[in-house]
A and B are shown apart, each in its own frame.
Chain A
């Protein structure tokens, strides 16, 4: 199975300041079709996960543009340009290149 790791696991942020989460995979997520299937999900307290980003950098409809994804191969990053109160929650990366699809351990974003 592809192992996903994230850092940091806890991220206290000041409102209005940027935040960055790193995700690494145990093997390259580049697929033979030319795509790299790395996703980011946000899980607010008491809610189901919500997809923010797919294929590394494609933002879902309705996701604020302060969220951006980047990376390639085995190293990926989710950035929030200016953290708002509604961004509090746990963020997971998930690889979709190989079954079983696997998630990272999650990064808890909280306001300082």
Chain B
């Protein structure tokens, strides 16, 4: 059974760096073609992919956020970490991590999400 769970701060100040951790079980991030990605959703708004990392350490980033986002993995801990620099109020959102298979064209498993508010 695949499960994912996000953790991190619920409140960050403007200009700070956000660090979120996705802890998962039921699969290995060292097995082809597994990947774990991050998706966010501002309150009442649509979903937006941020980044994904694959079993071979290949990474893909959002076109608009690539300068601010970094994704890394710790295979031994079954964790993926997202960092986003220079946070602002527009980055207030629920952040989800998700499991996907490269080349599958889809994402089937999502975490429960974690709400991050950016405010001074």
Contacts and interface: CB of A to CB of B under 8 A. Distances in A.
**Count class of interface residues, chain B:** 10 to 19
A97 B105 contact: yes
B63 A48 contact: no
A104 B110 CA distance: 18
B86 interface: no
Contact of A39 (B96, B106, B110, B111): B106
B108 A60 contact: yes
A15 interface: no
Contacts of B52: 99
Interface stretch (A19-27, A49-57, A64-72, A73-81): A49-57
B47 interface: yes
Contacts of B11: none
A100 B110 CA distance: 17
B103 to A, nearest CB: 8
A51 B49 CA distance: 15
Interface string A1-26: 10000000000000000000000000
Contacts of B49: 100-103
Contacts of B108: 51, 54, 60
Contacts of B96: 48-49
Contacts of A35: 105
Interface of A is mostly: loop
30 contacts: A1-B63, A31-B105, A37-B104, A37-B105, A39-B105, A39-B107, A48-B112, A49-B47, A50-B110, A51-B107, A51-B108, A54-B105, A54-B108, A55-B106, A92-B47, A94-B106, A96-B105, A96-B107, A100-B49, A100-B61, A100-B62, A100-B63, A101-B49, A102-B49, A103-B46, A103-B47, A103-B48, A105-B46, A106-B46, A106-B47
Given A37-B106, A51-B108, A99-B60, 10 more contacts: A48-B111, A49-B96, A50-B110, A54-B105, A100-B60, A100-B61, A103-B46, A103-B48, A105-B46, A106-B47
Interface of A: 1, 31, 35, 37, 39, 48-51, 54-55, 60, 92, 94, 96-97, 99-106
